[in-house]
Amino acid sequence: MASGPLPFGFRDAQRYYAFSRFLKERFGGKVRRIAVDGGFTCPNVDGTVTTGGCVYCDNRSFSPSRRAPRLGIRGQLERGIRIVQPRFGADRFLAYFQAATNTHAPLDKLKRLYDEALDHPQIVGLAIGTRPDSVPDEVLDLIAGYARERYVCLELGLQSIHDRSLDWMNRGHHYDVFLDAVARCAGRGFDVCAHVILGLPGESPADMLATADALAGLPLQAVKIHNLHVVRDTPLEAMVEHGEVHILERDEYVAILCDFLERLPGGMVIQRLQGDAPPDYLVAPQWCLDKPGLLRAVDDEMRRRDSWQGKYCQPTVASSTPVRRALPVVT
């Protein structure tokens, strides 16, 4: 039990700001995400930035919609709702543009796809996954327009504030590009969620916590935290096979994850606590397949420490000067 009342409305059983709680508070009931695939590519794959992609990336493993036969956006939503609605008892949904880089297309195509999703009567908002170098101002203006009437969350892949780690994973951008994107998103009325990975080779616990401290100092509303995990047929798989990369055991991950949560602001929504992939794509670690087990382990560890998200939050001021370096809108 907690030694006193917990801050930020946390319960003894869950000492971080879970996305499910946020959605309940925001919408007054159960809302779930439905992943849709707009058929986007990625500038890190199609040659706009480079062609290799991130070392851990296989888009089929990231998105259920890309593994299934292609339907239009409405068809994908209806198929997803048929599966998710009875399972979770939700009747409203966010359309989650998940696979690849979901702002990497001409503006009229983006508008058509986002409009099609929002036209569905059970869709109450959008989540849009993208890269920080792929959000030119015209795209942010479009997204801000939707955010005047609907909930919108823009998800920016950062992974780490350390440029050597970004280079190792072949992200094709550095931290300053992320800072620039966040600065240009701020105050536009939509939420911004940063994606990070813990357990990158060459990063010490102090390095990972420096990423938490940096996120704490930025105008972000949410974060998705992933453990480095290995998907079949990626460059990372070969590195692990050759013994070049250590993949965290679950206990190691839980310890650093709880340290990380303690450093984030208590009001920052935690949209995700681990990476995952379907069993036929996942190489390691196998503990990724037991998501409830990981969540229980985090809850247990936070209780054992009598700690909570935000307990040791010490935001750092961004040390890099933002640059205006977003890719131009695709034409």
From 45, 94, 193, 282, residue interacting with ligand SF4 (rule: CB under 6 A)? 45
* DSSP element (H, E) containing 297: helix 291-305
96, β-bridge pairs: 35, 127
127 close to 164: Cβ distance less than 8 angstroms: no
- 3-state SS, residue 90: coil
Q: Report if residue 160 touches ligand SF4, rule: CB under 6 A.
A: no
Instruction: Name residue 11's beta-bridge partners.
Output: 14
Could you tell me which of 156, 158, 157 has the C-alpha nearest to residue 140?
156
Tokens of 133: 């170098």
Q: Choose which of 6, 23, 36, 42 interacts with ligand SF4 (CB under 6 A).
A: 42
User: Nearer to ligand SF4 by C-beta: 64 or 266?
Assistant: 64
Instruction: Please say whether the beta carbons of 70 and 38 come within 8 A.
Output: no
Least distance from ligand SF4 to the Cβ atom of residue 49, Å: 9
Nearer to ligand SF4, 54 or 113 (CB): 54
Tell me: does residue 135 bind ligand SF4 (CB under 6 A): no
Asked if residue 131 binds ligand SF4 (CB under 6 A), the reply is: yes
Neighbouring C-beta atoms of residue 222, cutoff 10 Å: 21
Q: By the 8 A CB rule, do 99 and 59 touch?
A: yes
- Select the span of 30-38, 54-62, 207-215, 242-250 touching ligand SF4 (CB under 6 A): 54-62
- Looking at 38, 132, 136, 157, which residue binds ligand SF4 (CB under 6 A)? 157
215 lies in the site for ligand SF4, by CB under 6 A: no
> What is residue 131's DSSP assignment?
-
Closer Cβ to ligand SF4, 124 or 240, answer by number: 240
> Cα–Cα distance between 295 and 331 in angstroms, integer?
43
Residues 66-95, interacting with ligand SF4 (CB under 6 A): none
Contact present, 169 and 203 (Cβ < 8 Å): no
**Position 54 contacts ligand SF4 (CB under 6 A):** yes
Residue 166 near ligand SF4 by CB under 6 A: no
Nearer to ligand SF4, 38 or 53 (CB): 53
Sites of contact with ligand SF4 (CB under 6 A): 42, 44-45, 53-54, 57, 59, 100-101, 131, 157
